[in-house]
Amino acid sequence: MVSFSDFYRRSIEDRDAFWSEQADSIEWQTRPRQICDYSEPPFARWFAGGTTNLCHNAVDRHLADRAQQNALIAISTETNTERAYSYAELHAEVQRMAACLQALGVKQGDRVLIYMPMIAEAAFAMLACARIGAIHSVVFGGFASSSLASRIEDAEPTVIVSADAGSRGGKVVAYKPLLDEAIELSAHKPQAVLLVDRGLAPAAMRAGRDHDWAALRSRHIDAKVPCAWVDSTHTSYTLYTSGTTGKPKGVQRDTGGYAVALASSMRHIFDAKPGDTYFCTSDIGWVVGHSYIIYGPLLAGMATVMYEGLPIRPDAGIWWSIVEKYKVTHMFSAPTAVRVLKKQDPEYLRRYDISSLRGLWLAGEPLDEPTAQWISQSLQVPIIDNYWQTETGWPILTLCNGVEKQTSRFGSPGRAVYGYNVKLIDETNGEELLGPDQKGVLAIEGPLPPGCLQTVWRNDERFVNTYWKSIPGRLIYSTFDWGIRDKDGYYFILGRTDDVINVAGHRLGTREIEECISGSANIAEVAVVGVADSLKGQVAMAFAVVRDASGLTDDAARLKYEGEIMKHVDSQLGAVARPARVFFVNALPKTRSGKLLRRTLQAIAEKRDPGDITTMEDPTALQQIKELLG
């Protein structure tokens, strides 16, 4: 068996031969003429001249061997519905959706905006777009009208696919009124809206524009829609990065490079095999949902679980009951979700047979050591962190256990993944930091490997200026994250370069302070942000959720515990890292997919406008913080 070090080295030093072999993991109508065209850096054209189709590779090619195997398992604990689709059934539904889109005027290269909850029809729509060569742009379901309008204007979709409503924790969120208002606000008007009526909320239909999915589907029940063979560099989708201010920034992804990258990742990173079952708890509104709910598992011939609901509803055993029922082999979630489960009765973990599970992968935010240790001991399977971005589409740092079994190190997402020429760079002079345990900006030498963004949608200049020109004297991709690398090549992420707290000239990563505070036995979750200070430039401010608040019922008790935490930080990191305040809160503000809204916390602490907070899971979390800060 080849060592990972040799495997990685070949991917960098013999790039084209390496990726030519990886290209065999998908089917091509026409083999590529050139593996990587990097004649105009930083723009990389992967597998140029090759023609393929993402839907063919995800669905059609499996029909010969696994037509009756589960492909898509759609579960909603919000509506108490559950349906498993075989590859044959998924193939039929995707063709029906494709025929509907074509009937509404969608052609190859047109955009289709998808604004939907986590239901099977959303997967049908994404795959149908890929099938006919249309470009999908998924917007997180329930996004506010003004934000949705800006994305409609940027994408200029021919058709919008949506639903009457989504549901979160039993609370219905009506989508149709939000969509109608967004279309009114947008300068671009779609030709048609295709609406899935779930019967959750009233949905007024506009004559001539709005079409009912069930009615249109019935007219195309026997549809046969062939796959459109497109060039490898054909845009498969755009996805707007979260937290965008001003003009939206649409990450633009190709077809062939993305398919090869995901197919290879399923084998080399996840050690997955056809017939396995993959359960990713994210949302299709985010890149993880694109890569590891929809495309990656299906490319690998697996069954994929699509889940609408909370990890603790109807109870904290729901995820593990799914693992047992469907013999889930691979699970992908976020550290925040694990921390939520950590606060629940451990009996829920012992109630179900999870022996099928071979690993839990976590991403989306740094994985703190206490959380990693807890879930590792609870599940007794490998816990594998991984680090990547919307822009890259698949992991930059993790463990490639499909190449060589490696050991996780708590606090580290792992080593550089094959194809990524990762560097640590001194931000002041652009020089590479070669020694161990040196803090630098995590950067990637071009060309970026297959599957990464081609550019920013309709804005090549923004792509170059944003990602490739932030480090002086070098054309190199910046992740905008601080990191260090130990002597064995394991990386540790210390936080965003623009999240670094500069206290009286001392640079401190928020991650370091958060991990220190989370080591306290009574702390369940913590977020640290840098807040402007007239004397020191910035000070650290912490917001912590305690496991047991019974001893913090008055101001004196809270101040005493705050002091204890500060002393602990002093002893571990030094007085310069001590937070100016530690506020104890009931919950931290998060998106509905569980990502902490650190920018929002910082803005409120600095008495600034928090901006777009429409994707918040629990708006009351912010209200308490505002009251604490006065």
What confidence score (pLDDT) does residue 628 get? 83
What confidence score (pLDDT) does residue 245 get? 41
Give me the CATH number covering residue 238.
3.40.50.12780
Q: Is the same domain home to 476 and 507?
A: no
Q: Is the same domain home to 76 and 189?
A: yes
Domain count, the chain: 2
Long-range contacts of 89-92 (CB under 8 A, 24+ apart): 90/59, 90/123, 90/124, 90/127, 91/59, 91/60, 91/63, 91/67
Q: Is the same domain home to 10 and 119?
A: yes
Q: Is the same domain home to 536 and 458?
A: no
How does strand 359-362 pair with strand 383-385?
parallel
What confidence score (pLDDT) does residue 615 get? 53
Q: Is the same domain home to 418 and 523?
A: no
What confidence score (pLDDT) does residue 1 get? 73
Domain final position from 419, 452, 480? 480
Domain final position from 448, 480, 512? 480
Q: Is residue 334 in a domain?
A: no
Residue type, 265: S
What confidence score (pLDDT) does residue 244 get? 34
Q: Is the same domain home to 543 and 403?
A: no
Q: Could you read off the pLDDT of 61-79 as tens digits, one per residue?
A: 999 999 999 999 999 999 9
Q: What's the mean pLDDT when you consider all of the chain?
A: 92
What confidence score (pLDDT) does residue 330 get? 98
Q: Is the same domain home to 529 and 420?
A: no
Q: Is residue 317 in a domain?
A: no
No. of H helices and E strands in the chain? 21, 32
Residue span of the structural domain in which 609 resides: 499-629
Name the token pair of 552: 């913090």
Mean pLDDT of 611-619: 59
Q: Is the same domain home to 66 and 33?
A: yes
Q: Is the same domain home to 466 and 505?
A: no
pLDDT range class, residue 243, cuts 50, 70, 90 = very low
3-class secondary structure for 536-597? CEEEEEEEEEECCCCCCCCHHHHHHHHHHHHHHHHHHHCHHHCCCEEEECCCCCEECCCCEC
Q: Is residue 341 in a domain?
A: no
Under DSSP, is residue 604 helix (H, G, I), strand (E, B) or coil?
helix
HSE-up (13 A, CA, CB side) for residue 78? 22
Q: Could you read off the pLDDT of 575-612 as tens digits, one per residue?
A: 778 999 999 999 898 877 677 888 788 888 888 877 65
Mean pLDDT of 357-376: 88
Q: Is residue 213 in a domain?
A: yes
Mean pLDDT of 24-41: 98
pLDDT range class, residue 256, cuts 50, 70, 90 = very high
Give me the CATH number covering residue 563.
3.30.300.30
Q: Is residue 562 in a domain?
A: yes
Q: Is residue 55 in a domain?
A: yes
9 pLDDT exceeds 70? Answer: yes
**Euclidean distance between CA atoms 470 and 434, whole angstroms:** 20
Mean pLDDT of 38-67: 98
**Quick one: what percent of the chain has pLDDT higher than 70?**
96
Q: Is residue 510 in a domain?
A: yes
Q: Is the same domain home to 416 and 521?
A: no
197 pLDDT exceeds 60? Answer: yes
What confidence score (pLDDT) does residue 310 get? 93
Q: Is the same domain home to 472 and 529?
A: no
Mean pLDDT of 318-323: 98
Q: Is the same domain home to 19 and 53?
A: yes
Domain final position from 449, 480, 511? 480
Residue 402: Cβ within 10 Å count? 17
The secondary structure of 149-215 as a DSSP string is: HHHHHHH--SEEEEESEEEETTEEEEHHHHHHHHHHH-SS--SEEEEE--SSS--PPPTTTEEEHHH
Mean pLDDT of 257-269: 98
Alpha helices in 380-449 (DSSP H): none
